[in-house]
Structure 1
């Protein structure tokens, strides 16, 4: 399904030259920040920041040949990224991270054995946390979000149905909420609004493929109309309110050769209907979206297949989105998986990998837009 489409990081795609006659995109302030210590092939999938001196980034490393690699987790201390030790754990492919403070962060990952792990950062190291369904076959934890009240929200699946796992701020009390009332659905991203509403995004089967899925939990489920497309999946979303929701992802289209790149998807919900918005490039993907200090969608991370010489972003300019490029020569062909804001500042982090193919010599990669 579209979980492998939301980012095209599993596809062996080579660079394509920039097209003649295409206007040069604007540039603004993004700088590469060294992320040392990853063993190729490596990538960072998601990033979360608690402030200018504290951030976490997770992914995987050591993917070579048939190896599925092992988990990779990094910590930002205000001056540099450092690895955090995962040698006491055996989990691969950490897929998301969220954290409000130095002594509490959460991460989820791909299954090892029978089910997905839930990890908690205690200020010193990552430890596995217990939750209902831990170790059950078919339990998947795909994404995690933490609200201002430190309540934890994890989207995934249990018993064949997609839904939310909710935890109190202390991480002691967990319960699965009523399943999403959509058959054959997958959830890949979650966010919490200041009001406490939880928004989730993913995909749902439409018979011949899949469509984009966005839903809201506020004590009960509200499922928005599908985002129509040809094998379209949502990689991330940002809700400024029930009538101002942005969703980003990739539309795979119909067929094509192995490794065929898809098309970026940018859609807006105004409370009544979805409107597709031009992304500024036509082949590639949109992978993450972050809000500003006022809660409005502000930056989108992406990948432009037709010009891979720099990282690609979309920046909100009033009611329009403008293509912005990252630093030159920072990586051979950087691929971004995520972007997030830095609380208390006007800065942002983005993470990904040094090329669009998770095979050696690809390494973990980060960029920063300082306040």
Structure 2
């Protein structure tokens, strides 16, 4: 849910209203500036997430229809030269918000089915190498999935929110043996699960609206290092190892600014980053070096415009890096595999133009 909300916020901004030198830069820093835009051919449309593994790269989001009142699920597959849209089993109002690639015949995507807008339901789909099929989600009166992850043992985990026992709160479910196992203990007072990382069955992290929770195999426990009052909203997480984890998002102050935290196995600490009006949505590790993507805001008269934004870690802090060539828009997803750093989101050529689903990569 968090990526879709972010995208819709960017659309509202766009339609209503330090460069880095090459000297002594690490290879990963230089690479991030050499972006190649890969046209998707989808307009109006947005992408909420991208994932890549073992030669498989997928991006998911939604096509806008009916004057932006409805969406249809959109899943694009990279064939090595261009993006190809795949046939969807859902033709009602729905969108995909997160994708996880395990292999050429094992891709999972989750989102929200709004066939009845008053009672949205979690949407889960699986790609078997030939086609997508809908996997029945947990039996809940209403809810939405905004993050999907595949554990080391191949189990699929999904996070978001749902009505459980008459109360709406953050949820995590694990799919195994054809059924969904609720892993919600400890989340009863939380609002929404934004971003999920699974290290093992007894070690997982969940970014919330707001706060951060850790799973020990039995229950989720909020960590004290991230306030749960909504002032800090984690939206993206990347794991290099159990004692090397990066978390990005937004801190709500007078003007929103990037949030970057690092976990060393003991505690989460704040990492310095630019403080301009901006926010981050996702982070990927390239050679274990974090690169975060999001949006920065500019004002002109009484209008506010969002523009793609990239930060990368250099030394002990995050610095602004060149963004893909796009006039307006936001970057909502990032992934790194097979020598490429991918990003996805939505862009437009002018503030009043229809937005397009956007992707780019850096070698």
Q: Secondary structure at the match of 2:189?
A: coil
In structure 2, the residue matched to 1:85 is 87
1:300 maps onto 2:292 in alignment: yes
- Shift in Å at residue 120 of structure 1? 0.8
> Compared with structure 1, are the counterparts of its residues 301 and 15 closer, same or farther at alpha carbon in structure 2 (3 Å cutoff)?
farther
- The answer to whether the 8 Å contact 1:72/1:93 transfers is yes
- The answer to whether the 8 Å contact 2:205/2:212 transfers is no
In structure 2, the residue matched to 1:201 is 207
Q: In the aligned structure 2, how far is the partner of 1:320 from the partner of 1:15?
A: 34
Q: In the aligned structure 2, how far is the partner of 1:2 from the partner of 1:47?
A: 14
In structure 2, the residue matched to 1:45 is 48
Q: Secondary structure at the match of 1:154?
A: strand
- Shift in Å at residue 56 of structure 1? 0.9
CA deviations over 1:138-172 (Å, ceiling 9, x no partner): 2322210112332111112340342321123xx62
Q: Secondary structure at the match of 1:11?
A: helix
Number of residue equivalences:
339
1:319 maps onto 2:316 in alignment: yes
More strand as a share of residues: 2
- The answer to whether the 8 Å contact 1:39/1:61 transfers is yes
- Unaligned 5+ segments in structure 1 are 17-22, 204-210, 255-260
Query: After superposition, where does 1:153-172 map in structure 2 within 5 Å?
Result: 153-158=157-162, 159=164, 160-168=168-176, 172=178
Q: In the aligned structure 1, how far is the partner of 2:359 from the partner of 2:3?
A: 22
- The answer to whether the 8 Å contact 1:181/1:221 transfers is yes
Q: In the aligned structure 2, how far is the partner of 1:79 from the partner of 1:165?
A: 35
Q: In the aligned structure 2, how far is the partner of 1:252 from the partner of 1:5?
A: 16
- Shift in Å at residue 122 of structure 1? 1.5
Cα RMSD (Å): 3.2
In structure 2, the residue matched to 1:67 is 69
Q: Secondary structure at the match of 1:278?
A: coil
Match for residue 193 of structure 2 among 169, 187, 190: 187
Q: Secondary structure at the match of 1:288?
A: strand
Q: In the aligned structure 2, how far is the partner of 1:310 from the partner of 1:161?
A: 32
- The answer to whether the 8 Å contact 1:246/1:297 transfers is no
In structure 2, the residue matched to 1:19 is none
> Compared with structure 1, are the counterparts of its residues 10 and 272 closer, same or farther at alpha carbon in structure 2 (3 Å cutoff)?
farther
- The answer to whether the 8 Å contact 2:10/2:329 transfers is no
- The answer to whether the 8 Å contact 2:203/2:215 transfers is yes
CA deviations over 1:243-264 (Å, ceiling 9, x no partner): 543221123336xxxxxx6222
In structure 2, the residue matched to 1:277 is 271
Q: In the aligned structure 1, how far is the partner of 2:66 from the partner of 2:36?
A: 25
CA deviations over 1:181-202 (Å, ceiling 9, x no partner): 4513310111222787322112
> Compared with structure 1, are the counterparts of its residues 195 and 89 closer, same or farther at alpha carbon in structure 2 (3 Å cutoff)?
same
1:149 maps onto 2:192 in alignment: no
In structure 2, the residue matched to 1:119 is 125
Q: In the aligned structure 2, how far is the partner of 1:357 from the partner of 1:140?
A: 32
Q: In the aligned structure 1, how far is the partner of 2:272 from the partner of 2:5?
A: 19
In structure 2, the residue matched to 1:102 is 104
CA deviations over 1:343-362 (Å, ceiling 9, x no partner): xx332111011149998510
In structure 2, the residue matched to 1:207 is none
More helix as a share of residues: 2
In structure 1, the residue matched to 2:12 is 11
- Could you state the TM-score of these two structures normalised by the residue count of structure 2? 0.81
In structure 1, the residue matched to 2:327 is 332
- The answer to whether the 8 Å contact 1:43/1:61 transfers is yes
> Compared with structure 1, are the counterparts of its residues 176 and 360 closer, same or farther at alpha carbon in structure 2 (3 Å cutoff)?
farther
Match for residue 353 of structure 1 among 333, 346, 350: 346
- The answer to whether the 8 Å contact 1:61/1:69 transfers is yes
1:247 maps onto 2:255 in alignment: no
Q: In the aligned structure 2, how far is the partner of 1:243 from the partner of 1:338?
A: 23
